[in-house]
Amino acid sequence: MTVARDSIDTAQGLLAMRYQFAARPHWHLESGVAGAIFGLNRLTGGGNGATFLRMQHEYRTRGVWMGGAGGVTNRTGTSLRSTAYDMGAWGAYKRTTATFSAVSTRSLDTDLLSASSLPSRRPVGSYVVRDGTLSVQQSLAALDLAAILTLRSGEGIAKGVNDRAVMLAAAFYLSPVVALTVSGGRQLADPLRALPDAKFMAASVRVLLLRRDPAVRQIERYGAIAMVQADPEGGATMTIRVLANSSARVEAYGSFSAWQPVQMQWVLDAWELRVHVPQGPQRVAVRINGAQWRAPANLTKVNDEFGGEAGLVVVP
């Protein structure tokens, strides 16, 4: 539900995918499509479709990306195209994540810009706006807080556009799959998604409906799990999964690695490591961002002689 000065009514959907390169674990490709239908008081109703492609490099608690996006908006039977190129960087320290992005957007959707508060007169043909955005997010136990500052300049218009906007957002997690979100502030006109400049307040309930497999449900219940599946040729494959932020640094170690930390890999929606282990008792522990080593919650916890803990699993 959205309530705004411009009385935006909209229904929208987004499908995003992330491709992890097996040979280059620090690189991945993100892609997606979005569609919306809307009605605006200042403009006629219509529809919008957009797609994006982005290459990202992640290393431990920081990363950079570069990508592009294209969108088409149709309000009166004429398709108005927009294209954007963006690049950015992010870094995390403890529970704080900061992101900076630079975006250059070219659009033929002059109606959208003239419907917004700036510029003062209608541009002709295409126009270009460049945005610099800084966002800071703080994660607490069950609460995420975010502040986003955007500075904008433009060209191809009679007078350059210079503007700024601030947004604040909060998400309170009632459970791993249900969150209440509240956000407010100012959204600069977004030609790619056909959103006009607007001050807004929004509240929503976010529910994650689909699950990939039962193991993911277990992760959400336990935080970290380890499972073994017997191999026909002897021993077993042990799969360790940890539910943590994708920007975290997640490691596992145990008797299988001579207690040397092994970096886990981000696979779709969780951190994962698969190792072949021999028959008999095995011990394993995981840690996030260099914190204390913990036993996977579904295993029997045993304390070691060195003041730490590990999970005990018997391999059949």
Give the whole-angstrom CA distance, residue 192 versus residue 100: 19
Determine how β-strand 79-93 pairs with β-strand 62-74: antiparallel
The piece of 16-24, 92-100, 158-166, 186-194 that touches another protein (CB under 8 A) is 16-24
Smallest distance, another protein to C-beta of residue 272, A: 6
Rule CB under 8 A: which of 256-315 touch another protein?
Answer: 256-260, 262, 265, 267-268, 272-281, 293, 297-302, 304-308, 312-315
- Shortest separation between residue 282's beta carbon and another protein, angstroms: 9
Q: How far apart are CA 305 and CA 316, in angstroms?
A: 25
Instruction: Write down the least CB distance from residue 286 to another protein, Å.
Output: 14
> Of 64-83, which residues contact another protein (CB under 8 A)?
none
The number of residues that bind another protein (CB under 8 A) is 47
Closer residue to another protein, CB minimum distance, 127 or 256 = 256
Q: Which is nearer to another protein, 149 or 297 (CB)?
A: 297
| Token pair listed for 208 | 């994650």
Please identify, using beta-carbon distances, which residue of 194 and 286 lies nearer to another protein: 286
Does residue number 253 form part of the binding site for another protein (CB under 8 A)? yes
Please give the structure tokens belonging to residue 80.
């108005």
Nearest residue (CB) to another protein, 152 versus 283? 283
Among 20, 74, 101, 139, binds another protein (CB under 8 A): 20
Q: Which is nearer to another protein, 72 or 215 (CB)?
A: 215
Figure out which of the listed residues 7, 19, 79, 234 binds another protein, where binding follows CB under 8 A.
Answer: 19
Please choose, from the candidates 125, 128, 123, 113, the residue with its C-alpha nearest in 3D space to the C-alpha of residue 194. Answer: 113
Residues in the chain, total: 316
Interface with another protein, residue 55, by CB under 8 A: no
Which residue is listed with tokens 């380890």? 226
CB of 16 to another protein, least distance (A): 12
User: ∠ CA(11), CA(15), CA(17), 5° rounding?
Assistant: 160
CB of 288 to another protein, least distance (A): 17
Shortest distance, CB of residue 28 to another protein, whole angstroms?
A: 10
Burial class (CB in 10 A: 0-12, 13-18, 19+), 162: exposed
Minimum distance from residue 31 beta carbon to another protein (Å): 10
Least spacing, CB of residue 259 vs another protein, in Å: 4
Of the two residues 90 and 293, which places its CB atom closer to another protein in the complex? 293
Helical H segments across the chain, by residue range? 110-115, 214-222
- State which residue, 160 or 278, has the beta carbon closest to another protein: 278
Query: Between residue 189 and residue 248, which ones bind another protein under the rule CB under 8 A?
Result: 222, 235, 237
Q: Which is nearest to 36 in space by CA: 44, 27, 28, 45?
A: 45
Q: What span, in angstroms and rounded, lies between the C-alpha atoms of 271 and 299?
A: 17
Q: 44-53 long-range CB contacts below 8 Å, 24 or more apart?
A: 44/75, 44/76, 45/75, 46/73, 46/74, 46/75, 46/76, 46/194, 47/73, 47/74, 48/72, 48/73, 48/74, 48/193, 48/194, 50/82, 50/192, 50/193, 53/29
Task: Point out which residues bind another protein (CB under 8 A).
Answer: 17-20, 22, 25, 222, 235, 237, 253, 255-260, 262, 265, 267-268, 272-281, 293, 297-302, 304-308, 312-316
